[in-house]
Copies of this chain bind each other. A is one copy, B any other.
């Protein structure tokens, strides 16, 4: 059981894509990490800021901020307009990882090869660091965003709050906890878990990027479907890889789901049907981007990339 999955996209691209996704992702990561580093100076009381920074600056692909920036640009906004929201998305994501790793939850000692927050700072400070990052995300959006109308920013605040709360991440996590150790979870429940644990914050990342650029209701619906579809596809493919890939290929322990008797898409639908559904979701995701032509290249490439792991 993980609160939110790390979405690993740093793998070789298929050569038929003209757009160089790897360069795009690497540049985005560098830009986002510089902004995150500036976002949180260490002041008194140092320990809490150090604890927050320890996890916020611990690496990862920064996919949520990158999706936010890319969508804002696609919809005619600038990266500058979206950067504070992009950072806030990563703060919220980091909060969910810190709290998820706690002994009361997953009890994980390591994440990305480093000790988890509570192993370094203690459970009490780790809980507070998560709370601090969640609260700061909202403050930061308001304080740092320039040249975006106030009503658009309020929409961002609302969507971010919803994506994290019981209608999003937290709700998905509670259902996941209830399903722990059950191997007969119905597909509707499995969809609920992943739509809330993973897809909701991806959706907020994409939709908030659009909102900042002034996306209308129709655009917002398209962006929302794009993000939910890639989120669910990613999760299905993650389940498939847990069975088909070696631990070496995966960069983490393979076969964990089977060993944990966890209900997965392949265990419910079989391997072939799971692959078919993932492909279907990614095709549907890309179809939503048709109206945006070449401007949609980054978002299309991200969908293709997720699919390229499905073999």
Interface residues of A (CB under 8 A from B): 45, 47-49, 52, 95-96, 99, 102-105, 122-125, 127-143, 149-151, 153-155, 157-158, 160-162, 164-166, 168-171, 173-175, 177-178
A245 nearest CB across to chain B (Å): 30
Q: Are A135 and B150 in contact, CB atoms less than 8 angstroms apart? A: no
Q: Are A105 and B132 in contact, CB atoms less than 8 angstroms apart? A: no
Most chain B beta-carbon neighbours within 10 Å: one of A99, A105, A142: A142
Q: Are A165 and B142 in contact, CB atoms less than 8 angstroms apart? A: no
**Which of chain B's residues have a CB closer than 8 A to the CB of A45?**
166, 171, 174-175, 178
Q: Are A166 and B104 in contact, CB atoms less than 8 angstroms apart? A: no
Q: Are B95 and A131 in contact, CB atoms less than 8 angstroms apart? A: yes
**25 residue pairs A–B, Cβ–Cβ below 8 Å:** A45-B175, A45-B178, A47-B178, A48-B171, A49-B166, A95-B131, A99-B127, A104-B104, A104-B123, A128-B170, A131-B131, A131-B169, A132-B166, A134-B135, A135-B161, A135-B170, A136-B161, A136-B166, A138-B138, A138-B157, A138-B158, A138-B161, A140-B161, A150-B151, A154-B154
A265 nearest CB across to chain B (Å): 20
Q: Are A131 and B130 in contact, CB atoms less than 8 angstroms apart? A: yes
Known: A99-B127, A127-B127, A135-B134. A161 touches B174 (CB 8 A): no
Q: Are B138 and A170 in contact, CB atoms less than 8 angstroms apart? A: no
Most chain B beta-carbon neighbours within 10 Å: one of A45, A132, A168: A45
One of B52, B124, B139, B154 near A104 (C-beta < 8 A): B124
User: 18 more A-B contacts (CB under 8 A) besides A45-B171, A128-B173?
Assistant: A48-B166, A48-B170, A99-B131, A102-B127, A104-B127, A128-B174, A129-B170, A131-B131, A131-B134, A135-B162, A136-B161, A138-B160, A142-B154, A142-B155, A142-B158, A143-B158, A150-B151, A154-B154
